[in-house]
Each structure stands twice: as structure tokens, then as C-alpha cells.
């Protein structure tokens, strides 16, 4: 017998029953906090048998970890990323350069900035990791008590940290000017670029941590073997957090079928048809602009109703941030003034951002560029059970959909492809991982591309992470360029 997603206890409307755990909840008890048992292995979403055993990783990966891992061991993030060793090499090299090699910022500053960035998404995994690294680089333990204990110049990064994490389109040249103005607490442009790269990197890495269900390291485990969840995180009890909205999105898709086999075949057919249509007829620039605006507005409808409430930070994270209630708001909200679309041909990574960041923070541009290109071009020419498949169209749709949610438009891209290729449950997942990563659930992860391999879903997370980082950098570097001119 089909059970309603919401049951009401007989005789009163004051209680609701969760359809999963059958727990009775007062209506006013919604948005509770629960503790979830830690599953074994590096990821709570990926079965351990699907990952390469730690003692069986290839020699190249072992060497990379020894040379470039911050911890010097195969941590859980690296373990999951090792499903894609070609990408892992560029990731570890870039992160090592930002954290350990010669650069504008002192080492302990770098780890503290990583903590501040991770705290915007309540990412205790990264906070704990960099707490340890901060102390190893002779950082003052007092600073770990909270922002009121750090130098004013570090506290001055709060505003740009907040904006980049949640609404990067609001960053202006005035924010840059306020940080580099003369005075004892000012930042040089080189220092600021280093800080911005770190902030964007760790915001995006928090998306990967939550999107891939990364478990705490064994030495991060609380003594009772349970992980406290942030107050507003979607928990195992769907009803407690209004997850019925999510359920509706996950049980329907714009392919018109919930059967995973037919879902895959439909996606393959749509890719083939889009390729044929592209060869037959090219849309006009006006039509392409219209399709972008339509997709941007439709992204408003993807789970945003579930997120109108403010975030409540966990106690660990809250000490490192100010204005914890500030979160993502849709770029094109109804009835509000919003910034003009960021047109990629006016300011792109390839033509503008790369050269600026490389000039102010030597060689980081090359490392970032290699990382962006590698994840974007990464392919094994497979899709679930199919081989010899050109997945370029799908990878571009994933990357461009993230940028679309941040108001960035590519004039040469037909955004009609996004709606054809990304079904609704995948859009729910993308938006959550990119904009509210701390609210990602295993149900969301399991709910899309059900025939696909876990390695393919990790590739999706890598694309989302890099697309998000590039979007943040584009807005920040554009603001710096405007300050310079």
C-alpha cells in the first residue's frame, strides 16, 4: 500500500509522522538536529568496495600523496579523488603550491584563511584538517578560539569571504579598494589574490566534501562514534526538514520516466538528437540569449522554496565567521533588482582572469588552468554501460549550468541543451552541492543517474567543484581589474 509522504496523527493536526522512521514530531519541532552513525570507509555515499583499497593504490598516486598531500597520507578526499588519478595530480600540485610553496602569504595565514572559507559551509572536515595544519605552521593557538582573537587585517577578509561563498556577483572594486587601502591593516594586491584563490578553492572543496559524502578521518572521529549534524542540515528524518519538497523533485524528472534503464536510454537519445539538430541548424544570438534567460529563471524553481530560511551555523564553524545567516540567494530572484548578466566574452578566464592572477601570484594561473582544463576534458568515452560515447556535450552542460546559477553566460552556448540533458533530480543535486553543500544528502546523490558508476558521479562532483571555483574567481578578478583601471 502506498504511504503518503506526510501522515497526520489521528485526532490532532499538531503532530506529523515521518514516513521513513515513523517518528512523531510536533510541527514546531521541525528543523531538528540528529546524529548519524559514521559509515565505514572514505565516503558515506560510495561503498568501500567501489574505491581502490588504501594499500592497493598505484605507485604514481602513492608518490603524489607523499609529495603533495597536506597530511602526507592518503586522506579521505584524496582517496575518493584517486578514482580519477589524472585529475588528482593537478589538484594536489595546485593545493600544495597554495599552501606550502613560496608565495605572498605566511604559511599560518594560509591555513587560517582555509578555515574561514570552510566555515561558511560548516565544513567541519576541512576546519579540523586545517586547525591541525595551522598549529603545525606555528600559528597562535589563541586564533582558534575565534575571529575576535585574530589580527584585524584577517578579520577584514570576512566580507569578501562571505560574498564569494554565497553571492560572488556582489563583489565590486570598492570591496577590493577597502582591503588594499593604505594603513597598517591593508593587503597588498599580491596577498589579496593569494587569499582570494584560497577562499575560492576551499569554498569549492567544501562542495566536493559534502557532495561526495566524505567521512571524517579516523583521528577526527568524536569519541561516541557519531557525527553531529548542523542544525539546518537535511537529516535522515525527511519530514523534520521539509524534505518532502526534495522528495517530489527526486521522484520525478523531465524525462518522463523513473525507470533507471529507460532514463539512461532517453539521455543517450537526447544527446544524439541534439548533436543532429546542432549540425542541421544553428540558433540565432537572440534565441540563444532568450534560452539563457529562461534557464536562469527556471533555476529559481529548483528546490529554492526549501531554502528560504536562514542557515544556522554549527558551533565549531560559527566562531570563524560573521553574519552566519547570510547564504546563497538566486541570481535572478523574482521582483528584485539583480546585477546584469556576466557575459563571458567580456571577461573570461582564458583571456583575462588567467593573466591577471598569474601576474600577481606567480605561476598559480598555470596550475589552475591545468586543473580546469583537465577536469573539463576528462573522459573515458563511457556512460554507464555504454562505451565509445562522446560525453563532451554532457560535461559542458554540467559546467555551464553551474555558471548559469551564478549569472555567467556564454554567448556561443545553447542553454536549451541544459534542459534537455539535465533531468530535475540532477539539477536538485547540482544546485544543492554548489550553493548549499552542507545540505546534501545521500538520497540526492542516489537519486540521479541511477545506472551510472560511482566514479562517474565523482567526476560530476569534480566538474561542479571546478566550475564553482572558476565562477568565484571570475567575479573577484573582474573586481580587481576594475580597481586597477
Q: Is the pLDDT of residue 4 over 50?
A: no
Taking the C-alpha atoms of residue 91 and residue 101, their distance in angstroms, rounded to an integer, is 15
Contact 105, 195 (CB under 8 A): yes
Place of cell 565549531: 316
pLDDT digits (tens, 9 = 90+) for 245-266: 444 444 445 654 456 668 889 9
Q: Is the pLDDT of residue 240 over 70?
A: no
pLDDT-derived band at 303, boundaries 50, 70, 90: low
Which is higher by pLDDT, 286 or 93? 93
**By CB neighbour count within 10 A (0-12 exposed, 13-18 middle, 19+ buried), where does 130 fall?**
buried
Task: For the beta carbon of residue 106, count every other beta carbon within 10 angstroms.
Answer: 13
Residues above pLDDT 90, as percent of the chain: 60
Q: Is the pLDDT of residue 304 over 90?
A: no
pLDDT at 246: 44
Taking the C-alpha atoms of residue 334 and residue 292, their distance in angstroms, rounded to an integer, is 16
Dihedral class, residue 367 (left if φ above 0, else alpha if ψ from -120 to 50, else beta): alpha
pLDDT digits (tens, 9 = 90+) for 273-297: 998 887 666 777 777 777 777 776 6
pLDDT at 314: 57
Mean pLDDT in residue range 227-233: 37
Cell of 452: 551510472
Mean pLDDT in residue range 45-74: 84
- Among 66-80, 259-273, 449-463, the range with the most confident prediction by mean pLDDT is 449-463
Q: How many Å is the maximal CA-CA distance in the chain?
A: 70
Q: Is the pLDDT of residue 462 over 70?
A: yes
Taking the C-alpha atoms of residue 473 and residue 475, their distance in angstroms, rounded to an integer, is 5
pLDDT at 299: 65
To 10 degrees, what angle do helices 454-484 and 158-166 make? 130
Cα torsion 208, 211, 213, 219: sign: positive
pLDDT at 207: 98
Cell of 142: 589563541
pLDDT-derived band at 479, boundaries 50, 70, 90: very high
Between 69-78, 390-399, 474-483, the lowest mean confidence (pLDDT) is in 69-78
Phi, psi (5° rounding) for residue 16? -130, 150
Taking the C-alpha atoms of residue 485 and residue 481, their distance in angstroms, rounded to an integer, is 6
pLDDT at 338: 65
Taking the C-alpha atoms of residue 318 and residue 330, their distance in angstroms, rounded to an integer, is 24
User: 311: which DSSP letter?
Assistant: P
pLDDT-derived band at 53, boundaries 50, 70, 90: confident
Q: Is the pLDDT of residue 415 over 80?
A: yes
pLDDT digits (tens, 9 = 90+) for 118-130: 999 999 999 999 9
Q: Single out the residue of 243, 177, 218 nearest to residue 25, CA to CA.
A: 243
Q: Is the pLDDT of residue 155 over 80?
A: yes
Q: Single out the residue of 390, 375, 393 nearest to residue 465, CA to CA.
A: 375
Cell of 203: 569554498
pLDDT at 63: 87
Using alpha carbons, list the distances in angstroms from residue 416 to 200, 393, 409: 29, 12, 13
Q: Is the pLDDT of residue 398 over 80?
A: yes
Phi, psi (5° rounding) for residue 83? -60, -20
Is 435 annotated in the active site? no
Contact 301, 452 (CB under 8 A): no
170-191 burial, b for 16+ CB within 10 Å, e for fewer? Answer: bbbeebbeebeeeeeeebebeb
Phi, psi (5° rounding) for residue 165? -70, -35
Active-site position among 123, 235, 237, 404? 123
pLDDT-derived band at 341, boundaries 50, 70, 90: confident
Mean pLDDT in residue range 343-364: 95
Cell of 368: 589552475
Which is higher by pLDDT, 203 or 184? 203
Q: Single out the residue of 407, 427, 410 nearest to residue 472, CA to CA.
A: 407
Mean pLDDT in residue range 56-74: 82
Which is higher by pLDDT, 110 or 224? 110
Taking the C-alpha atoms of residue 325 and residue 313, their distance in angstroms, rounded to an integer, is 8
To 10 degrees, what angle do helices 392-405 and 364-377 make? 120
Phi, psi (5° rounding) for residue 379? -160, 150
pLDDT digits (tens, 9 = 90+) for 26-35: 544 444 333 3
pLDDT-derived band at 340, boundaries 50, 70, 90: confident
Record the pTM: 0.85
The strand pair at 408-409 and 342-343 is best described as parallel
pLDDT-derived band at 85, boundaries 50, 70, 90: very high
Q: Single out the residue of 202, 203, 200, 217 nearest to residue 80, CA to CA.
A: 217
C-alpha 281: how far from chain center: 35
Phi, psi (5° rounding) for residue 411? -60, -25
pLDDT at 331: 67
* Average pLDDT score, the chain: 82
Mean pLDDT in residue range 134-152: 96
pLDDT-derived band at 11, boundaries 50, 70, 90: very low
Mean pLDDT in residue range 150-171: 96
Between 12-16, 333-337, 390-394, the lowest mean confidence (pLDDT) is in 12-16
Question: Which residues of 184-273 form beta strands (DSSP E)?
Answer: 226-228
pLDDT at 290: 74
Q: Is the pLDDT of residue 391 over 70?
A: yes
Cα torsion 398, 404, 410, 411: sign: positive
Amino acid at each position: 500500500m502506498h504511504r503518503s509522504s506526510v501522515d497526520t496523527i489521528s485526532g490532532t493536526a499538531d503532530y506529523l509522522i515521518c514516513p521513513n522512521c515513523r517518528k512523531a514530531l510536533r510541527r514546531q519541532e521541525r528543523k531538528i538536529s540528529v546524529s548519524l552513525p559514521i559509515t565505514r570507509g572514505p565516503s558515506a555515499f560510495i561503498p568501500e568496495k567501489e574505491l581502490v583499497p588504501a594499500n592497493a593504490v598505484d605507485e604514481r598516486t602513492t608518490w603524489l600523496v607523499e609529495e603533495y598531500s597536506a597530511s602526507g597520507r592518503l586522506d579521505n578526499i584524496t582517496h575518493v579523488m584517486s578514482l580519477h588519478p589524472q585529475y588528482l595530480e593537478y589538484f594536489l600540485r595546485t593545493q600544495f603550491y597554495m599552501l606550502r610553496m613560496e608565495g605572498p602569504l605566511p604559511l599560518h595565514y594560509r591555513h587560517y584563511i582555509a578555515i574561514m572559507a570552510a566555515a561558511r559551509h560548516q565544513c567541519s572536515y576541512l576546519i579540523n584538517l586545517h586547525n591541525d595544519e595551522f598549529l603545525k605552521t606555528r600559528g597562535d593557538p589563541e586564533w582558534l578560539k575565534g575571529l575576535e582573537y585574530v589580527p584585524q587585517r584577517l578579520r577584514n577578509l570576512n566580507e569578501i569571504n562571505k560574498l564569494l561563498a554565497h553571492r560572488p556577483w556582489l563583489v565590486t572594486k570598492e570591496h577590493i579598494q577597502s582591503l588594499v587601502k593604505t594603513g597598517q591593516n591593508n593587503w597588498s594586491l599580491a596577498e589579496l589574490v593569494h587569499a582570494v584563490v584560497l577562499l575560492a578553492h576551499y569554498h569549492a572543496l567544501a562542495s566536493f566534501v559534502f557532495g561526495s559524502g566524505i567521512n571524517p578521518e579516523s583521528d577526527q572521529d568524536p569519541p561516541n562514534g557519531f557525527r553531529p549534524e548542523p542544525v539546518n542540515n537535511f537529516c535522515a528524518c525527511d519530514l523534520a526538514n521539509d524534505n518532502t519538497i526534495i522528495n517530489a523533485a527526486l521522484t520525478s524528472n523531465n524525462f518522463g520516466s523513473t525507470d533507471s534503464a529507460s532514463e539512461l536510454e532517453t539521455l543517450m537519445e537526447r544527446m544524439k538528437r541534439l548533436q543532429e539538430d546542432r549540425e542541421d541548424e544553428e540558433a540565432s544570438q537572440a534565441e540563444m540569449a532568450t534560452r539563457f534567460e529562461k534557464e536562469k529563471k527556471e533555476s529559481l524553481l529548483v528546490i529554492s522554496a526549501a531554502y528560504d530560511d536562514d542557515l544556522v551555523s554549527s558551533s565549531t564553524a560559527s566562531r570563524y565567521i560573521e553574519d552566519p545567516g547570510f547564504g546563497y540567494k538566486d541570481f535572478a530572484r523574482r521582483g528584485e533588482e539583480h546585477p546584469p548578466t556576466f557575459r563571458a566574452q567580456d571577461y573570461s578566464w582564458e583571456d583575462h582572469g588567467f593573466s591577471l592572477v598569474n601576474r600577481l601570484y606567480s605561476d598559480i594561473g598555470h596550475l589552475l588552468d591545468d586543473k580546469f582544463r583537465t577536469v573539463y576534458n576528462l573522459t573515458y568515452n563511457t556512460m554507464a554501460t555504454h562505451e565509445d560515447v562522446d560525453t563532451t556535450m554532457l560535461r559542458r552542460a554540467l559546467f555551464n549550468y553551474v555558471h548559469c546559477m551564478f549569472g555567467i553566460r556564454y554567448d556561443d552556448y545553447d542553454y536549451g541543451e541544459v534542459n534537455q540533458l539535465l533531468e530535475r533530480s540532477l539539477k536538485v543535486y547540482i544546485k544543492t552541492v554548489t550553493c548549499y553543500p552542507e545540505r546534501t544528502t545521500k538520497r540526492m546523490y542516489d537519486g540521479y543517474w541511477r545506472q551510472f558508476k560511482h566514479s562517474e558521479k565523482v567526476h560530476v562532483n569534480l566538474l561542479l567543484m571546478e566550475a564553482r571555483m572558476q565562477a568565484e574567481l571570475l567575479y573577484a578578478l573582474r573586481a580587481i581589474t576594475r580597481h586597477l583601471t
